[in-house]
Chains A and B, each alone.
Chain A
Amino acid sequence: MRLLEVKNLKKIYTTRFGGNQVQALSNVSFSVEQGEYVAIMGESGSGKTTLLNILASLDKPTSGEVFLDGKNIVTIKDSDISAFRRDNLGFVFQDFNLLDTFSIQDNIFLPLVLAQKKFEEMNSRIKPLSQRLEIEELLQKFPYEVSGGQKQRAAVARALITEPKLVLADEPTGALDSKAAMNLLKIFSTINDLGQTILMVTHSVAAASHANRVLFIKDGEIYNQIYRGSMSNDDMYQKISFTLSILATGGENLE
């Protein structure tokens, strides 16, 4: 079953007085199946972040369509967009984006509180989740009292607690040391095994090598993609590195 379908996405940024136009995405089409774990890779300026912002309904494309579970998110009214995002998407950011003023538990509750859920329900949801993410002990602590890896696990819990259709992760390992990063990637794999669809944007080959499929994006277009098939993580790593180097040298040859 197709969960996400992206069709001919195009995004052109125009400077305020209409002088210069920058094409961030020229023509992007791809789809993600229910339960898939997809990584998107590309260099800085390749359009990854623009793509993610559009998928997250934080930004609108110049043209093209995005269907999430059959619903075109490009045409959702501004007034409904926050609720849509809250109900269908979960976010994990590079810099965690936890609020200092809330305890870890309250940070995780935040989207549910905004969705006006009952406290009993929130409480029953957080228990299994915090066990799985190994943050039960930290729930009453504050973000400034825990390590980076712990913060990111809390952020993952916040993304998952709404039981979203799709988790969008933007460089989730970017601010973590290698041990914490490996730990987080294991968690991603585990939740993916439990059926959670994940779309992750990353620079890191190690991170991408955990995904089922890796999309490479260059100059605003999908350049290539790799399916895991039966490959191990290490094979995946090799293959991604190889593709990336072709991506880099190939770019030079084209000029």
Chain B
Amino acid sequence: MNKFFYPKLALVNLKKNGNTYIPYILTCIGSIMAFYTIVSIQSNKGLDAMQGSESLKILLFLGIIVIGIFAVIFLFYTNSFLIKRRKKELGLYSILGMEKKHIARVLFYETLFVTVISLSLGLLGGVLIGKLMFLILLNLAHIKSPLAFKIDQMGLLYTTIVFLAIFGLTLLTNFLQVKLTNPIDLLRGGEHGEKEPKSSWLMTLIGVISLGIGYAIALSVQDPIEAILLFFVAVIFVIIGTYALFTAGSVTLLKCLKKNKKFYYQSRNFISVSGMIYRMKQNAVGLANICILSTMVLVTISTTVSLYIGQESMRRDYYPMDVSFIGAAETTDFSEIEKIVVAEKTSAKVETTNELSFDMSTFTAFQEGSHFLPDMVTDENLDLTYYNTISKITTVPLEDYNRMTNQNKTLAENEVMIFSAGENYQEQTVVFGENLFLVVEQLESVPMDFKKKLITGNSYYIIVNNEQMMSTIYTAMNANKDNADSESPAIHHAMMFNLSGSEDNINHFSKQVRASVSQLNPDIEIRNIYESLAELYGIFGGFLFLGVFLGSLFMMATVLIIYFKQISEGYEDSERFVIMQKVGMDKTEVKKTIGKQILMVFFLPLAGAIIHVAFAFPVITKMLAAFRLTNIPLILLCTLVGVVVYALVYTGVYLLTARSYYKMIH
């Protein structure tokens, strides 16, 4: 026999099965590209030197694992689908006299071709698109650098090894399929009569209950930290609920519809309902998968986009002023710091505005009405309730307040003015230990902070008569503490200002000032929003990049699952509709019925996903609040845009597959 016989046969097979194998090969190429891209970005040496790259690299590493697992599951899924479709063909070979080892040889060559084609194209595509992705990531993470993106040989090697292993495994399972079945079974393939599925009230009930629990958790969560913990519990319940309802719930519902004779025996319902029962039996798991994948895509993309867009306002809550230096009032020489700032700002070409300078004393306490109790919680015992109830209190002398606000207010010894960053202070008095003060004024603003929506404990600024008072209060609140805090001085001095200038200049300035000031006095606390932002851009830019990257990958998966589903159903349905035409069904009626069924199958998961997202929204906002993102309209907007874009792409896929489905029917 010609030694090229098997390779040729394999090639012909791939061509003949083009309408299923081309999407399969495209999937392989897509997965390989994605895998290579993320591996090469993660291992890029230049990234190490950048600020915020630590967390970015960890994120990317997680991304590699997710994509790897995803590739394995997904390629296995599509492969098993393909081989099922081809059972008849393989059975025919065996009837025509091919032994199983010959069939195995054909399968081997087929896999070989698929592997070679997808690896070479995938790696090539990865190299090309990798550079683009890398630039996008750097841009998102605000990393400005002339980093060269070289072809990563290790990345190529890893990708090749991983995917060779995956392809090898799929080949093995195909061998097993052939080995375990006899020719008659192969010939018959998928077409043994299927039993009508039974309705299962139990499963439906489980589905409804766990979905209910999931939703209830989502709706009832009150505070952010609880949200993060319970979110995953809710997710698990919702996943269970989704699977149960798609598999059992749908069949139960359809069976109920079927029992209603008046409804069922109408031409527009008759065929759809009975068809849907079978369709749900075969597709429920696939549809549930699509529903969950879609939900994941939507949640991932909307949260990462919200975080990315909202990060600056989030930071603002933590850093009311751009830069602040805080040091012990008595021992720190602030005039030296001022000199450094002046020198650096001229050399870096940045401007400082809203300069503030004042004494202050800060401590934490538990509020009970007007009484503030000392914070005695040790570090090991910090828990949810602690973060939710603790208040941060900053006292400022009247003199400094008047100076900064150009006012001339007066206070008696036992009088204070109070500013609450969160909700207004409701009491007439403030009590610290033995010391009782009358609240004479509820301030609407203070120079160094602003009103914001606080999710966890409150933050108060209290203006008191003099520094003596501040020390008294501080001592009263720290008297029984024997940890390091009590040794720090009661009164600090703070110097704060905002910056304006180009991002590069500001970053340069921040770096220089930090270096010089730390050299001058290492005990000074320097808080700089731009340094924090640089880190955040690394994290949230990475989040966004991964979110969109994985989102697109999941979307590709969804699209392919749908495509394969439609194709396999097209084959079965075409026979069914020929019969119906013979019995007297109109062509237009056939078309309408088909359209209705595809529409339901297609948009059920999308509808499910959108409902899930709607219920998840409260939890998402609370979780994001833990990151101090409290801009709910922004989150809502990001979510809505995400849903709309996703629905549009989804509809596009629907129109495409519906077309090839109709072709198959006729």
In the complex, the answer to whether A83 meets B584 with C-beta atoms within 8 Å is yes
Task: Judge if A111 is at the interface, Cβ distance under 8 Å.
Answer: yes
Give the interface size bracket for B toward A. Answer: 20 to 34
Specify which chain B residues have a CB less than 8 angstroms from the CB of A82 in the assembled complex.
Answer: 581, 584-587, 589
Q: Cβ of B265 and Cβ of A113 under 8 Å apart? A: yes
Give the distance in Å from the alpha carbon of A84 to the alpha carbon of B652 in the complex.
38
Known contacts A82-B585, A101-B274; is A114 also within 8 Å of B579 by CB? no
Name the residue of chain A whose CB is nearest to the CB of B194: A100
The answer to whether A143 and B583 touch across the interface, beta carbons within 8 angstroms, is no
CB of B638 to closest CB in A, whole Å = 43
A58 touches B582 (CB 8 A): yes
Residue of A nearest to B572 (CB): A100
Taking the nearest CB of chain B, how far is it from the CB of A7, in angstroms? 25
Q: Of the listed stretches A85-93, A192-200, A231-239, name the one at the interface; the rest are far from the partner chain.
A: A85-93
Among A33-41, A102-110, A202-210, the stretch that binds chain B is A102-110
B586 cross-chain contacts in A, Cβ below 8 A = 79, 82-83
On chain A, the number of residues with a Cβ less than 8 Å from chain B's Cβ atoms is 29
Is B583 in contact with A142, judged by CB distance below 8 angstroms?
Answer: no
Quick one: closest A residue to B587, CB to CB?
A82
- Residues of A within 8 Å of B346, CB to CB, are none
Query: In the assembled complex, how far is the CB of residue B566 from the closest CB belonging to chain A, in whole angstroms?
Result: 18
Q: Is B22 an interface residue (CB 8 A)?
A: no
Interface presence of A158 (CB below 8 A): yes
Whether the Cβ atoms of A91 and B265 lie closer than 8 Å is no
By the criterion CB–CB under 8 Å, are B262 and A86 in contact?
Answer: no
Q: Is the CB–CB distance between B584 and A144 below 8 Å? A: no
Chain A 53-97 residues near chain B, CB threshold 8 A:
58, 79, 82-83, 85-86, 91, 93, 97
Answer whether A99 and B579 are a contact pair too, CB < 8 Å, given A86-B584, A113-B267, A116-B267.
yes
Shortest distance from the beta carbon of A154 to any chain B beta carbon, whole Å: 13
Q: A142-B195, A144-B193 are in contact. Are A114 and B583 (CB under 8 A)?
A: yes
User: B275 an interface residue at 8 Å Cβ cutoff?
Assistant: yes
A30 within 8 A of B: no
Cβ-defined contact, B270 with A106, below 8 A = yes
Question: Contacts A58-B582, A93-B582, A144-B193 known; A101 to B265 CB distance under 8 Å?
Answer: no
The answer to whether B580 and A99 have CB atoms under 8 Å apart is: yes
Q: Is B179 an interface residue (CB 8 A)?
A: no
8 closest Cβ pairs, A-B complex: A144-B193, A86-B584, A82-B586, A119-B265, A97-B579, A113-B270, A101-B274, A119-B261
14 extra A-B contacts, CB within 8 A, seeds A82-B584, A91-B583, A114-B589? A83-B584, A97-B579, A99-B576, A100-B576, A101-B196, A102-B274, A110-B580, A113-B266, A113-B267, A114-B583, A114-B584, A115-B267, A144-B194, A144-B195
Can you list 21 A-B pairs, Cβ within 8 angstroms, ordered by A?
A: A82-B586, A82-B587, A82-B589, A98-B579, A99-B576, A99-B579, A99-B580, A100-B193, A100-B194, A100-B576, A101-B274, A101-B278, A101-B576, A102-B274, A113-B270, A114-B267, A114-B584, A115-B267, A119-B262, A119-B265, A142-B193
